[in-house]
A and B are shown apart, each in its own frame.
Chain A
Amino acid sequence: MTTAVAATGRKPATMSQALNRALRDAMADDPAVHVLGEDVGTLGGVFRITDGLAKEFGEDRCTDTPLAEAGILGTAVGMAMYGLRPVVEMQFDAFAYPALEQLISHVSRMRNRTRGALPMPITVRVPYGGGIGGVEHHSDSSEALYMATPGLHVVTPATVADAYGLLRAAIASDDPVVFLEPKRLYWSKADWEPGRPEEVPGIGTAVVRRRGTSATLITYGPSLPVCLEAAEAATAEGWDLEVVDLRSLVPLDEETVCASVRRTGRAVVVHEATGFGGPGGELAARITERCFHHLEAPVLRVTGFDIPYPPPMLEKHHLPGVDRVLDAVARLQWEADWTSPGSDSGDSRGSASGARGVPGTQGGAR
């Protein structure tokens, strides 16, 4: 993922730079694209994601608004009604809550209310998640709220390339997109060549980030690096883990998820958001419905605790880290004594392995 390819001009870039570039390119390509929010203009946003946009495109295109999230999103609704494509910034996850009424009562259902006459091509950028030492109300993961609201798309990049490609796709979408930006990956770097949004799979597509045969880790956003690290660590234990990056929570790419789980027979969903009523429950239910006969173990969840986001000095205990993921992987051996019914449906996960539950021999496809 981070291999430099000098011949194609790829250079190291951070996720925040890729997001900034996506906004800049979208604004250059389409005069209807307008950025608005608190501090997005002169300051360039507290995370500098909108850096330079007001200077390049003028304050009418990148507008510092009064400090009022409902007003920011509510005026964006009217702008969209008049043919613009507003991109609003919510600054921090918990700051978006005053705008929830506009989001839920209007943005998400305006197309539906008007039988298609008033689409809402609005992108709501929400920096989310913890791990940056933010004080209270600066680290929430509220994706379940957005996922539970029909009419919204919900996407979240985990890589530099996705940050660019998904944001371009979100802005181009004729439907409202809640674009969740994993704060603690803002400064993650990769060698990346901008200006190629078409190289990135669009909204509604998951990607297998690591091929494996023993079990599938299903994750997104800030937990992707955790899962990739866990997968590397697990090799020492003889586990060959597959890692699926959802990228898009709504729509959910169930085909990629289920295909992976059918291959590996085991699944762990990993996210920072609380487990109860969280995205992992939806995934576990769906996997169980669609892949029950392929499962060798219950679908497990590794999530944040069911608590309000903790103070920063305690957040390391809350956030799912590599060890917690590996513990879950170990628990996938729960049915070690259970005898396989044999080959079940011709898939390639090698369920006939003779030493089930002994990690080193898991996965006949290797």
Chain B
Amino acid sequence: MTVLEQPGAYRPTPPPAWQPRTDPAPLLPDEEPYRLLGTPAADALDPELLRLLHGHLVRGRRYNTQATALTRQGRLAVYPSSTGQEACEVAAALALEERDWLFPSYRDTLAAVARGLDPVQALTLLRGDWHTGYDPHEHRVAPLATPLATQLPHAVGLAHAARLKGDDVVALAMVGDGGTSEGDFHEALNFAAVWRAPVVFLVQNNGFAISVPLSKQTAAPSLAHKAVGYGVPGRLVDGNDAPAVLEVLTEAVRRARAGGGPTLVEAVTYRLDAHTNADDATRYRSDAEVTAWRSHDPVELVERELVRRDLVDADGLAAVREAAERMAAGLRERMNEDPDLDPMELFDHVYARRTARLREQAELLRAELAAAGAADGSAHGGGREGTDR
């Protein structure tokens, strides 16, 4: 006869009372994305802040259209446009202090540029001349990450290390809606929460992971809701409302710096262009949808606010456009120069010192280059001297 067959014989001891460790209510995002533009609060927005954002947004839009044009001319191998998402890109850069670190994904070139990076250096990955064309320490911008969400744990580790060293440095990591399905997203959120690392996670929910819509990506009420399970506050913001994104991110950065731990911000936005120039967006979304989002354009939203409050005149707007055109012309000109690449550098950065195997292979390439140089009569056939440090 088993225990279950003996009525009344089983008297389980009640388990210790279980108490939730955190009331989830303060962690939950608002039902509606946070907005400033078009609300009464917009009247209180600092005119200088609006002008600053406007200048960045106009330049950002022009940067996106110029880079997209460069793909058609074959100057860029690929460009994942952030047209329509400029408010997120600009706000991510502006929310940080100089000592902070930005961890961009491959679509976030504009955030790196808004942070001060040379636009040409920011594009080397996409042009194909080197994977990372800048020194990450110079502007504290990590390399553009192509594998999804893998840069998020890096941001956590860096922020954790900074705090261990006593530096009040914050890391802001950017990821798309598709990236939130990756394991590294989960692990980064969890590590950051457990360590109370000073990290801000910015999810740019632009509606699609290449062609897969959000409804097939997640069953969560919002991506910001995912934060609650980690014990992290989730914030939902209109990703096309630049002052709103900046305010939410700035608050999250402040909180992280003060030791309050990480925040997950979901910015609801839309990718007006295709995923890249290799993508056909008409296969998975309607013109009507795109048109509807065009009427909620992040650049126009700020511009309309400046006009509404009479904070800018026609000359002022023209001056902003001209500055953006000059940036684009400079970018075009410099991108049309052929990069000066030294094939022998292929062996320079695999290890701190070349291995014997790599020295051997470098010799092979040097000989090939010399032979090719002799054949076409060019002066620099052998490449520069290798550095066998």
Q: Identify the A interface with B (CB < 8 A).
A: 34, 60, 65-66, 68, 70-71, 73-84, 86, 98, 101-102, 105-106, 109-119, 150-151, 153, 173-175, 204, 250-252, 254-255
Q: How far is the CB of B17 from chain A (nearest CB, A)?
A: 26
Q: Are A76 and B150 in contact (CB under 8 A)?
A: no
Q: Are A112 and B349 in contact (CB under 8 A)?
A: yes
Q: List 10 A-B contacts (CB under 8 A).
A: A74-B187, A75-B154, A75-B157, A75-B160, A82-B161, A98-B183, A112-B131, A113-B132, A115-B132, A117-B136
Among A73, A101, A153, A250, max chain B CB count under 10 A is at A101
For B178-193 the 0/1 string (1 means CB < 8 A from A) is: 0000011001101100
Number of residues in B with C-beta < 8 Å to the partner? 40
B160: chain A residues at CB < 8 Å are 75, 78-79
A84: chain B residues at CB < 8 Å are 161, 164
Q: How far is the CB of A105 from chain B (nearest CB, A)?
A: 5
Q: Are A70 and B153 in contact (CB under 8 A)?
A: yes
How long is the Cα–Cα vector from A97 to B315 in the complex, in angstroms?
60
A255: chain B residues at CB < 8 Å are 356
How long is the Cα–Cα vector from A111 to B132 in the complex, in angstroms?
10
The listed residue (B157, B187, B357) touching A66 by CB distance below 8 A is B187
Among B153, B158, B356, max chain A CB count under 10 A is at B153
Q: Are B147 and A81 in contact (CB under 8 A)?
A: no
A81: chain B residues at CB < 8 Å are 136, 142, 154, 157-158, 161
For B97-136 the 0/1 string (1 means CB < 8 A from A) is: 0000000000000000000000000000000001110011
Q: Are A70 and B158 in contact (CB under 8 A)?
A: no
Q: Are A75 and B131 in contact (CB under 8 A)?
A: no
Is B37 in the interface zone, CB < 8 Å from A?
Answer: no
For B310-325 the 0/1 string (1 means CB < 8 A from A) is: 0000000000000000
Q: Are A78 and B157 in contact (CB under 8 A)?
A: yes
B352: chain A residues at CB < 8 Å are 111, 119, 173-175
Q: Are B164 and A71 in contact (CB under 8 A)?
A: no
Q: Are A112 and B154 in contact (CB under 8 A)?
A: no
Given A81-B154, A174-B352, output 12 extra A-B contacts at Cβ < 8 Å: A66-B194, A71-B191, A73-B153, A75-B154, A76-B157, A81-B136, A81-B142, A101-B184, A112-B350, A115-B345, A150-B350, A175-B351
Q: Are A116 and B153 in contact (CB under 8 A)?
A: no
From 340 to 354 in chain B, residues with beta carbon under 8 angstroms from any chain A beta carbon are 345, 348-352
Q: Are B135 and A117 in contact (CB under 8 A)?
A: yes
Q: How far is the CB of B300 from chain A (nearest CB, A)?
A: 37
Q: Are B349 and A116 in contact (CB under 8 A)?
A: yes
Q: Are B349 and A71 in contact (CB under 8 A)?
A: no
Is B272 in the interface zone, CB < 8 Å from A?
Answer: no
From 136 to 174 in chain B, residues with beta carbon under 8 angstroms from any chain A beta carbon are 136-137, 142-143, 147, 150, 152-162, 164-165, 171
How long is the Cα–Cα vector from A130 to B356 in the complex, in angstroms?
31
Q: Are B153 and A74 in contact (CB under 8 A)?
A: yes
Is B218 in the interface zone, CB < 8 Å from A?
Answer: no
The listed residue (A70, A78, A80, A119) touching B155 by CB distance below 8 A is A78
Is B355 in the interface zone, CB < 8 Å from A?
Answer: yes
A115: chain B residues at CB < 8 Å are 130, 132, 345, 348-349
Q: How far is the CB of A154 from chain B (nearest CB, A)?
A: 12
How long is the Cα–Cα vector from A78 to B135 in the complex, in angstroms?
15
How long is the Cα–Cα vector from A109 to B143 in the complex, in angstroms?
12
